[in-house]
Protein backbone atom coordinates (compact mmCIF):
# COMPACT_ATOMS: atom_id res chain seq x y z
CA UNK A 1 0.00 0.00 0.00
CA UNK A 2 2.85 2.39 0.70
CA UNK A 3 4.03 1.86 -2.89
CA UNK A 4 0.64 2.99 -4.18
CA UNK A 5 0.70 6.02 -1.90
CA UNK A 6 4.20 6.89 -3.16
CA UNK A 7 3.01 6.62 -6.79
CA UNK A 8 -0.08 8.76 -6.12
CA UNK A 9 2.06 11.29 -4.30
CA UNK A 10 4.33 11.61 -7.32
CA UNK A 11 1.50 12.58 -9.70
CA UNK A 12 1.34 16.35 -10.39
CA UNK A 13 -2.31 16.78 -9.30
CA UNK A 14 -2.27 20.59 -9.33
CA UNK A 15 -1.04 20.71 -12.92
CA UNK A 16 -3.62 18.12 -14.02
CA UNK A 17 -6.44 20.00 -12.25
CA UNK A 18 -5.27 23.30 -13.73
CA UNK A 19 -5.14 21.84 -17.24
CA UNK A 20 -8.60 20.25 -16.82
CA UNK A 21 -10.07 23.51 -15.56
CA UNK A 22 -8.52 25.38 -18.47
CA UNK A 23 -10.04 22.99 -21.00
CA UNK A 24 -13.47 23.02 -19.35
CA UNK A 25 -13.39 26.82 -19.37
CA UNK A 26 -12.47 26.82 -23.07
CA UNK A 27 -15.40 24.50 -23.88
CA UNK A 28 -17.76 26.71 -21.85
CA UNK A 29 -16.61 29.76 -23.82
CA UNK A 30 -17.18 27.94 -27.11
CA UNK A 31 -20.70 26.88 -26.03
CA UNK A 32 -21.52 30.47 -25.06
CA UNK A 33 -20.23 31.78 -28.40
CA UNK A 34 -22.31 29.24 -30.33
CA UNK A 35 -25.40 30.19 -28.31
CA UNK A 36 -24.93 33.92 -28.98
CA UNK A 37 -24.42 33.37 -32.72
CA UNK A 38 -27.41 31.00 -32.90
CA UNK A 39 -29.76 33.31 -31.01
CA UNK A 40 -28.70 36.68 -32.41
CA UNK A 41 -26.78 36.35 -35.69
CA UNK A 42 -27.55 33.27 -37.78
CA UNK A 43 -29.13 29.89 -37.13
CA UNK A 44 -30.68 26.90 -38.85
CA UNK A 45 -34.32 25.86 -38.86
CA UNK A 46 -36.19 22.80 -40.09
CA UNK A 47 -39.19 23.81 -42.19
CA UNK A 48 -41.85 21.10 -42.62
CA UNK A 49 -45.42 21.03 -43.80
CA UNK A 50 -47.56 22.04 -46.75
CA UNK A 51 -48.01 25.77 -46.08
CA UNK A 52 -44.91 26.91 -47.99
CA UNK A 53 -45.28 24.63 -51.03
CA UNK A 54 -43.87 24.89 -53.69
CA UNK A 55 -41.07 27.11 -52.33
CA UNK A 56 -40.17 24.59 -49.62
CA UNK A 57 -40.45 20.82 -49.57
CA UNK A 58 -43.32 19.08 -47.81
CA UNK A 59 -40.95 16.54 -46.21
CA UNK A 60 -38.75 19.30 -44.81
CA UNK A 61 -35.94 21.66 -45.66
CA UNK A 62 -33.16 22.90 -43.44
CA UNK A 63 -32.79 26.64 -43.98
CA UNK A 64 -30.37 29.30 -42.78
CA UNK A 65 -32.01 32.14 -40.87
CA UNK A 66 -30.57 35.66 -40.69
CA UNK A 67 -31.47 36.91 -37.20
CA UNK A 68 -29.98 40.39 -37.66
CA UNK A 69 -32.23 41.63 -40.49
CA UNK A 70 -35.41 41.41 -38.42
CA UNK A 71 -33.84 43.43 -35.60
CA UNK A 72 -32.65 46.11 -38.02
CA UNK A 73 -36.02 46.37 -39.77
CA UNK A 74 -34.73 44.92 -43.05
CA UNK A 75 -37.67 42.65 -43.74
CA UNK A 76 -39.68 43.47 -46.85
CA UNK A 77 -42.67 42.17 -48.77
CA UNK A 78 -41.77 38.92 -50.50
CA UNK A 79 -39.31 37.74 -47.83
CA UNK A 80 -39.79 34.34 -46.19
CA UNK A 81 -39.56 34.82 -42.43
CA UNK A 82 -39.36 32.72 -39.29
CA UNK A 83 -41.75 33.98 -36.64
CA UNK A 84 -43.28 33.04 -33.34
CA UNK A 85 -46.75 31.64 -34.02
CA UNK A 86 -49.42 34.15 -32.95
CA UNK A 87 -51.67 31.19 -32.12
CA UNK A 88 -49.15 29.14 -30.10
CA UNK A 89 -46.09 31.01 -28.81
CA UNK A 90 -44.27 27.70 -28.23
CA UNK A 91 -44.10 27.15 -31.99
CA UNK A 92 -42.11 28.82 -34.74
CA UNK A 93 -43.64 29.07 -38.21
CA UNK A 94 -42.37 30.11 -41.63
CA UNK A 95 -44.49 32.40 -43.78
CA UNK A 96 -43.97 34.94 -46.55
CA UNK A 97 -44.45 38.64 -45.86
CA UNK A 98 -47.20 39.89 -48.17
CA UNK A 99 -47.75 43.35 -46.71
CA UNK A 100 -45.93 45.82 -44.48
CA UNK A 101 -47.51 48.46 -42.24
CA UNK A 102 -49.75 50.80 -44.18
CA UNK A 103 -50.14 48.41 -47.14
CA UNK A 104 -53.61 47.43 -48.35
CA UNK A 105 -53.73 43.66 -48.75
CA UNK A 106 -56.47 41.86 -50.68
CA UNK A 107 -56.86 38.16 -50.02
CA UNK A 108 -59.29 35.33 -50.71
CA UNK A 109 -61.32 34.62 -47.58
CA UNK A 110 -61.85 30.92 -48.31
CA UNK A 111 -59.81 30.04 -51.42
CA UNK A 112 -60.97 26.42 -51.57
CA UNK A 113 -64.69 27.19 -51.61
CA UNK A 114 -65.29 30.71 -52.83
CA UNK A 115 -63.90 33.63 -54.80
CA UNK A 116 -64.90 36.10 -52.08
CA UNK A 117 -62.11 38.49 -51.23
CA UNK A 118 -61.44 41.00 -48.50
CA UNK A 119 -59.09 43.97 -48.27
CA UNK A 120 -57.39 45.08 -45.06
CA UNK A 121 -54.86 47.80 -44.27
CA UNK A 122 -51.92 46.51 -42.24
CA UNK A 123 -51.69 48.54 -39.00
CA UNK A 124 -48.57 50.30 -37.74
CA UNK A 125 -45.97 47.91 -36.30
CA UNK A 126 -47.50 44.87 -38.01
CA UNK A 127 -46.98 42.73 -41.12
CA UNK A 128 -49.31 40.55 -43.14
CA UNK A 129 -47.96 37.01 -43.64
CA UNK A 130 -49.26 34.14 -45.75
CA UNK A 131 -48.07 30.70 -46.71
CA UNK A 132 -47.23 30.20 -50.37
CA UNK A 133 -49.82 27.41 -50.50
CA UNK A 134 -52.99 29.35 -49.68
CA UNK A 135 -55.06 26.16 -49.63
CA UNK A 136 -53.12 24.61 -46.75
CA UNK A 137 -51.85 27.47 -44.61
CA UNK A 138 -52.95 29.08 -41.36
CA UNK A 139 -51.75 32.64 -41.66
CA UNK A 140 -52.86 36.27 -41.40
CA UNK A 141 -56.08 35.37 -43.22
CA UNK A 142 -57.11 33.54 -40.03
CA UNK A 143 -55.27 35.39 -37.24
CA UNK A 144 -54.89 38.86 -38.75
CA UNK A 145 -51.86 41.11 -38.98
CA UNK A 146 -48.83 39.93 -37.00
CA UNK A 147 -46.81 42.25 -34.74
CA UNK A 148 -43.40 42.88 -36.30
CA UNK A 149 -41.78 41.87 -33.01
CA UNK A 150 -42.83 38.23 -33.56
CA UNK A 151 -40.48 37.96 -36.55
CA UNK A 152 -37.32 36.24 -35.33
CA UNK A 153 -35.43 36.06 -38.61
CA UNK A 154 -35.37 36.17 -42.38
CA UNK A 155 -34.75 32.96 -44.32
CA UNK A 156 -32.01 33.48 -46.86
CA UNK A 157 -30.64 30.07 -47.86
CA UNK A 158 -31.76 26.46 -48.18
CA UNK A 159 -29.07 24.19 -46.73
CA UNK A 160 -30.67 20.74 -47.04
CA UNK A 161 -31.42 18.79 -49.18
CA UNK A 162 -28.14 19.47 -50.94
CA UNK A 163 -29.69 19.18 -54.40
CA UNK A 164 -31.74 22.31 -53.59
CA UNK A 165 -28.92 24.19 -51.83
CA UNK A 166 -28.99 27.91 -52.54
CA UNK A 167 -30.60 31.24 -51.80
CA UNK A 168 -34.30 31.61 -51.08
CA UNK A 169 -35.43 34.28 -53.51
CA UNK A 170 -38.11 36.69 -52.36
CA UNK A 171 -41.34 36.29 -54.31
CA UNK A 172 -43.19 39.34 -55.47
CA UNK A 173 -45.97 40.05 -53.02
CA UNK A 174 -49.37 39.76 -54.59
Which residues lie closer than 8 Å to 173 by C-beta, 6 or more apart? 77, 78, 96, 97, 98, 99
Q: How far is CA 111 from CA 65, 67, 76, 135, 141, in A?
A: 30, 32, 25, 6, 10
Q: What angle do CA 121, 122, 128 make, to 5 degrees?
A: 125
Give me the catalytic one of 22, 43, 51, 137: 51
Give me the catalytic one of 2, 43, 69, 95: 95
Nearest to 76 by CA among 8, 169, 7: 169
The question of whether 124 is a catalytic residue gets the answer: no
The question of whether 95 is a catalytic residue gets the answer: yes
Residues taking part in catalysis:
51, 95
Amino acid sequence: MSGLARRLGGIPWREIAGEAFSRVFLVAQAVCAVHVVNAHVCSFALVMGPSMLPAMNLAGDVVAVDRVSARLGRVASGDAVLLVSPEDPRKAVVKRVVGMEGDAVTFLVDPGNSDASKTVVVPKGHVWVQGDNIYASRDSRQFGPVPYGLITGKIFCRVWPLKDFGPIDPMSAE
